[in-house]
Structure 1
C-alpha cells in the first residue's frame, strides 16, 4: 500500500536528516529559568545541534517546525544558514513551516526565504517543498504558492517536488503555481495535489524545459478544484518539438480512463519508458485504451497501483506487455459517499474514487 501522505526518507540519492535532530532526540532544547518572573521557557540549543550534525553534503536536509511548537520557521532557517556550511548542500526538504493551521495562512515565506538565501545554496540540485504528511495537515489545506521565482533563483536545480492544495478558498483559484519560463537544468518535476488547476499543465507545455525527462502530476478531483482536461495536457502529450520525457506519471486522477486514452493517442507515447497511472480510478475502459494498438512499444514499466480493473483486464495487461514490468497492485473497492460520513473521498457515479481524497 502507498502510505497516506508519506514523508520523504531520501532525496537526490541522499538520506533525509532533520536539521533540528540531535542524537535521535528530535528538537534539542533545554529549560531556561527566568529569575525575574519565575517563568520558564524552552530555548533551542542550535550550537549543540550544529555540533552533532553530519557533513553538509552527505544528507538531504529537512527544515521543519512542528505544529503548535514554540519555534518559528524564521528561527529555524536563520540557525541553519548561520551554523551549517550550506554551500555544500545538494538536497533540501521543507516540511511543515507554520506554527498554526496552514489553511489560515497564505504567506509565501518558504519561497521568499529560499530565494533570499539562493546565494548561500550554490550546490542545491534537489528540492522538496511542503513535504507534509496527514499527521500535521491535510494536503488540501496546504496553501498554493507561485514557484516561478523559486525556479528562477535556482537555475541549476535538477529536481523539484512540490505538494499543495486548493482548499476551496476563492483566493486559491487566483494563484498561479507556475508561469511559463526557461529552466535549463530541471530533469524531474513532481507536483502533488488533490486538485490541479488547468493552467498548470498549460504553463509547463509553454515552458522551455530541455532537460526534463521525468514529469509527475497529481490531477485530483473536481471537488477539490481540479479542472485539468485532455486539452490542457495536449501540449505535454503532443509537443511541437522532440521531447526528452521518458517517465510520465498522471496520478491520483479522477478521470483516469480518459487520461489513459489521451496519453495513448499522444505523439509522446512511443517514446515513453515509464507510465504511471496509479492512485486514480482506472477501470476496464482505461485498460482497453492502453492495449488497443500497443501504443507504448518501448515501455519498461507500467504502474497502476490502486485501480478498479476486473481480473480479466489485469490478466490482459500482463500478457499484453510481456516485456514490461506491470504493477497492478492494490485493487480498490467501489463505494458511495454515504458509507463515508467524514467524506474522505467523493466517489463518481460508479463508486470509484482516487486514493488521496479531500
Structure 2
C-alpha cells in the first residue's frame, strides 16, 4: 500500500531513472519513475536529464515520485513540466503522480496544484493515480480515453470530488476516491457523490471505491439504494469508519449478489453482522478481516 514505493504500475515493472541507467536498463517496456530526494537536485533538472536520456516516445507508463516541498530547499510541481513535455510522450497511457512513502512525505504533506492541464496535454491517457491532496484542484474534465481514475488521500477536497462527479468520462471503468478526514481537507459530503451514485455519470463504470472516510456509514446508506451499484462488479467501502449501522444498511438495501468483490476491510462491524454479510453474499469475494475494537478511525489520514 502507501508504506512502500511502487514496484509495479499499470502491469509494468517500475524502474527508477538514474543518470547511469538511461536506455540500458532493462529490456522491454517498463514504468519509468522520475524523482528527486529531500534537499537534493531540483526536480526540473532530473526531469530534463530523463527526457534527454530515455526513449520518451516509447514510454507508456510514468511514475512521478518526490518533487520537493515547501519545507524543502526545492519545490517544483511536476505537472507544468509534464505538460510542456507532452509532445515527447506520444504513447503515455498511465501516470502515477506522487509515489511517496511516509519516509519521504506524509500523505497529507504531499503538495499539489491544478492537475486539469494533464487531460488536455495527454488526451490518450487511460489511467491517472494521484496520491496526496494538499492544494489539489481539478476542473470538470472530458476524456474519451480515461478508464481508471484514482485519488489516494487523507482528505480529498470537496471541489475535487464535485469536479470528478461533473466530468464527462464515458469509458471510465474504475473510480477510487479516498475521501479522508475534514482535519486534512476532506470536506466532501454524500451529496457531492450523488451524480456518481445515481448512475448519471460514467456508464462504463464497473469498479467503485468510496473509501477511507469518516462518513462511511452515511456512504453505505447512500450506496444501498444507489442505481449505479447494479452495474458494478467491484465495490469498496474499505478503510473507513464502517460500523453495524452501515452494514445493516447494505443488508437492507438492494441486492449485492451480482458483485464479484466487496471490500470492507478496516471496519468496525460486530461479528454477528459480519456473519450476516457473509451469509447474504455467498458467491461474493468479501474482504472483512477482523473488526477493529477501538474508537472508529480511518486507516489513512496523515
TM-score band w.r.t. shorter chain: over 0.9
How far apart are 1:197 and its partner, in Å? 1.4
- Match of 1:195, SS? coil
Q: Any idea what the Cα deviations from partners look like across 1:211-254, whole Å, max 9, x if unmatched?
A: 10100000001111211111100011113367211100011111
Distance 1:305 1:327 in 2: 5
2:43 counterpart residue number? 73
Q: Any idea what the Cα deviations from partners look like across 1:176-218, whole Å, max 9, x if unmatched?
A: 6210121110000001111111122221121110110100000
Contact map agreement 1:148 1:178 (CA 8 A) in 2: yes
Distance 1:6 1:151 in 2: 27
Contact map agreement 1:108 1:145 (CA 8 A) in 2: no
Aligned partner (choices 131, 137, 150) of residue 190 of structure 1: 150
Contact map agreement 2:154 2:300 (CA 8 A) in 1: yes
Contact map agreement 2:257 2:284 (CA 8 A) in 1: no
How far apart are 1:304 and its partner, in Å? 1.0
Distance 2:74 2:250 in 1: 41
**Structure 2 length-normalised TM:** 0.94
Distance 2:253 2:162 in 1: 28
How far apart are 1:300 and its partner, in Å? 0.7
Distance 1:120 1:222, change over 3 A: same
2:21 counterpart residue number? 49
Q: Which has the higher contact order (CA 8 A, sep 6+)?
A: 2
Contact map agreement 2:196 2:202 (CA 8 A) in 1: no
1:139 counterpart residue number? 107
- Match of 1:268, SS? helix
1:151 counterpart residue number? 119
Distance 2:73 2:200 in 1: 40
**Structure 1 length-normalised TM:** 0.80
How far apart are 1:165 and its partner, in Å? 3.2
Distance 1:231 1:88, change over 3 A: same
Q: Any idea what the Cα deviations from partners look like across 1:72-111, whole Å, max 9, x if unmatched?
A: 212211111111111010100001011xx45569966300
Determine whether 1:352 maps to 2:296.
yes
Distance 1:66 1:107, change over 3 A: closer
Bigger Rg over Cα: 1
Distance 1:150 1:281, change over 3 A: same
Determine whether 1:216 maps to 2:186.
no
Contact map agreement 1:17 1:62 (CA 8 A) in 2: yes
Distance 1:151 1:191 in 2: 15
1:230 counterpart residue number? 190
Aligned partner (choices 120, 133, 138) of residue 165 of structure 1: 133
- Match of 2:80, SS? helix
Find runs of 4+ consecutive structure 1 residues off by over 6 angstroms. none
Aligned residues: 302
Q: Any idea what the Cα deviations from partners look like across 1:33-88, whole Å, max 9, x if unmatched?
A: xxxxxxxxxxxxx3x32253224x5110011112233x221221111111111101
Aligned partner (choices 259, 273, 288) of residue 328 of structure 1: 288
Distance 1:154 1:4, change over 3 A: closer
Contact map agreement 1:270 1:297 (CA 8 A) in 2: no
Distance 1:219 1:106, change over 3 A: farther
Distance 1:107 1:237, change over 3 A: farther
Contact map agreement 1:105 1:143 (CA 8 A) in 2: no
Contact map agreement 1:198 1:228 (CA 8 A) in 2: yes
2:7 counterpart residue number? 9
- Match of 2:183, SS? coil
